Structure 1
Amino acid sequence: MTETVFDPVHFIRSECDAIRDFIDTLRGEQAALRQADVSLLPRLAEEKAQRAQQLAQLADARKCLLSAQGQATDRAGIERWLQDFPVAADAWQELIRLAETASQLNSINGKLVGQRLRYNQQAIAALQDATQVASLYGANGHTQPFLVGRQLGEV
């Protein structure tokens, strides 16, 4: 029976690839939000959720591996463990940089969503205000809208 040798470089690079895909999705989401192209957002939201789930699974696998190696599962634990694997340590630093980029993009996208939401709420409020026309009471005692100008179809 052959023993499987764990390759931390491959493992971490796989995580880097997954986070790059996540970043690409975040950039697509950001472009759609900036262009107000809401038709793309449902597909991007689904893709983002799938990629986030993949990242969570990879992080869980990394934590299991660290735990099996007797290391703490936090950042300090992996950095201690990777001291014996300098190439993997470099890949880990790249992963940290990519994670920071993803976090920044996600934060910006959240602000863009909030901005779009506020804009839409203001537009709805303006439309609702525009429909609140003054009313008068008719001969029957019921309100009827006070219209300025001619009715449609009048000459």
Structure 2
Amino acid sequence: MQRLGLQDSDTVYIWLADKPEATEAWTRLEEILLRAQSVNQLNGRFIQERLGNVDEALTVLKEAAAATLGYGPDGTQPTINGGGRFLGSA
């Protein structure tokens, strides 16, 4: 496409003007790509939401685990150290 000078959507459609079958195929491809992008964005939002839920659940569990340890010699509750990575960083 670059060799033909087809740099944007307008030039592609100008080039396809006398190729009805190719125009139809190109239009279907664009529709499929738009749908795939929408689904990908939706999946990304779901993943972020679920990671937030998991992070909240881990915080609650860490706090509950720390509460079972009692108090240290200085009168403070010990902290529970988590893993070395943040959620979603793998």
TM-score (norm 2): 0.71
Q: 1:121 to 1:142 in 2, by over 3 A?
A: closer
Matching residue of 1:93 = 27
Q: Which aligned segments of 4 or more residues in structure 1 are displaced greater than 2 angstroms?
A: 66-69
Q: Deviations over 1:14-64 (max 9, x none)?
A: xxxxxxxxxxxxxxxxxxxxxxxxxxxxxxxxxxxxxxxxxxxxxxxxxxx
Residue of 1, 12, 28 corresponding to 1:78:
12
Deviation at 1:73, TM superposition (A): 1.8
TM-score (norm 1): 0.43
More helix by share: 1
Ranges in structure 2 where 5+ consecutive residues have no aligned partner: 79-90
Alpha-carbon RMSD: 2.5
C-alpha distance in 2, partners of 1:115/1:74?
35
- Local SS of the residue matching 1:108: helix
Residue of 68, 71, 88 corresponding to 1:135:
71
Question: Structure 1: which amino acid aligns with 2:44?
Answer: G
Question: Structure 1: which amino acid aligns with 2:11?
Answer: G
Q: Kindly tell me the number of residue pairs found equivalent between the two proteins.
A: 76
Higher relative contact order (CA 8 A, sep 6+): 1
- Local SS of the residue matching 2:6: coil
Ranges in structure 1 where 5+ consecutive residues have no aligned partner: 1-65, 146-155
- Local SS of the residue matching 2:17: helix
* Identity, % of aligned positions: 27
- Local SS of the residue matching 1:135: coil
Deviation at 1:86, TM superposition (A): 0.9
Deviation at 1:72, TM superposition (A): 3.0
